[in-house]
Amino acid sequence: MTVYVRSLETAVPKTMLVQSEARDVFAAQPGLTRLGSRLVNTCFDSAAIDTRFTAVEELTNDFRSDDPQFYDPSSGLLLNPSTKVRNEIFAREATKLFVAAARAALDAASEFDLVDITHLVTVSCTGFFNPGPDYKIVRELGLDPAVQRYHLGFMGCYAAFPALRAAKLFCEADPNAVVLVVCAELCSLHVRTSNDPDTIMGSALFADGAAAAVVTARPDAAEKALLRLDHFETVLTPVGEDSMAWNIGDNGFEMVLGNYVPHIIDDHIVGALQPLLAQEPELAALPYTSIQHWGIHPGGRSILDKVQSRLGLTDPQLVPAREVLRNYGNMSSATVLFVLKHILEQDVQPQDGAGGGRICSMAFGPGLTVETALFTKLRQAPADTAAVSGGRAAEIRQPLAAEAPVA
């Protein structure tokens, strides 16, 4: 049975962070050592990020509050709220993003009524509340109260793929199923000043965003479908369990992102791809560059550099991932869906050979887990903007068609 992504839409908070301005704030904190200050400047400047979006309005100098919780612009100090305070903001602001992305995806699949949605899968690793985002989406959008609801929590940056895989299985089990998948992450809630290299790296990379897709196997969706969901695979690398982690601390969630992670991916990415490409032997026999599109989760610039070098991919094949990183940063589970949307917005090219029109996609997360997927691009998506939880559209820079890898 063929399962399709009928629509794929994205959403971001209304507050934009300019990377250079954020760097200057973090570098000016009084508790930094000389090494810590140097690390802040290096991490922010080498991240290949220009802008990011945050649900924490007070992280910009334009916001004023009588009771600042994250940042006091009058003193220039970054504050350190408790996990409880951060999670309360997550419950409020993540709901807006979940709903904005879900509404945009449903609007883009206008042939379906709200009552047609049979399953709802929500994803997040940056906060918890219950009744959760699945409940909020049902109530806010007026879905059938009997819709089957599932939440994938605390899996990390790769979680969009288990969500899409579950949607595919639901549709294969029930040909009438219409599944709404929504990922939303508020990574910026957990930023803090620190001399710890992992914490500094997280502050330089992570951001907030959401993405949603409507997935179905109904024949009436085939003509307008964007993607065909072909295959998914999961691989755990034999090393790296302690190199990437996401823990809960007293003052927010704490990231472990060791500087050896890009090297682990470099060593094991070819082996991680083998089970996926073996699903279609004609692809396994081709050079990687013969697969037209590559939807790589931009966990960081160095990860993209390692993947491109190891697989011998061309600069244009890395443009979607590098552009998403440049414009949005790393939004954990939602990010790879932003990359796929970027690919879908490109003109449909002639599908020459077995790799024409195919998308090989991958994401990385704690474990070290490598999730891979094969898709087939069916048509061009109509838009190049992301919805904003406040109701307007975020401007996105036009892709640099032949941009060279960032040094």
Q: What is the pLDDT of residues 212-255, one digit of tens each?
A: 999 999 998 889 999 999 999 999 999 888 778 889 999 999 98
User: Per-residue confidence at 351, pLDDT binned at 50, 70, 90?
Assistant: low
Class (C level, CATH) for 227-377: alpha beta
Q: What is the rounded average pLDDT of the residues 151-163?
A: 97
Q: What is the pLDDT of residue 230?
A: 98
* Per-residue pLDDT, 259: 75
Statement: residue 62 has pLDDT above 90? no
Between CA 126 and CA 406 the distance in angstroms is 29
pLDDT band at 353 (very low <50, low <70, confident <90, very high): low
| Catalytic site residue from 43, 125, 157, 171 | 157
Q: How confident is the model at residue 402, as a pLDDT?
A: 30
Let me know if the fold of 3-216 is the same as that of 227-377.
yes
- In this predicted structure, the answer to whether residue 406 has a pLDDT above a threshold of 50 is no
Over residues 270-278, the mean pLDDT reads: 96
Single pTM value for the model: 0.93
Most confident of 74-78, 254-258, 321-325: 321-325
Confidence of residue 369 (pLDDT cuts 50, 70, 90): very high
Could you tell me the pLDDT band of residue 147, with boundaries at 50, 70 and 90? very high
What was the pLDDT predicted at 130? 96
pLDDT of residue 352: 62
pLDDT score for 27: 96
Confidence of residue 407 (pLDDT cuts 50, 70, 90): very low
Task: Report the percent of the chain where pLDDT is more than 70.
Answer: 92
Q: How far from the centroid of its chain's Cα atoms is residue 130's Cα?
A: 23
Mean pLDDT of 33-54: 97
Residue 401, pLDDT > 80, answer: no
CATH topology of domain 3-216: Peroxisomal Thiolase; Chain A, domain 1 (3.40.47)
360 in active site = no
Looking at residues 129-158, what average pLDDT do you find?
97
> Structural domain boundaries of the chain?
3-216, 227-377
Residue 9 has pLDDT above 60, yes or no: yes
The pLDDT, as a whole number, for residue 398 is: 36
- State the chain's mean pLDDT as an integer: 91
pLDDT surpassing 50 at residue 95: yes
The pLDDT confidence band at residue 384, using thresholds 50, 70 and 90, is: low
Answer yes or no: are the C-beta atoms of 263 and 306 closer than 8 Å: yes
Q: 116-120, 217-221, 239-243, 396-400: which range is least confident on average? A: 396-400
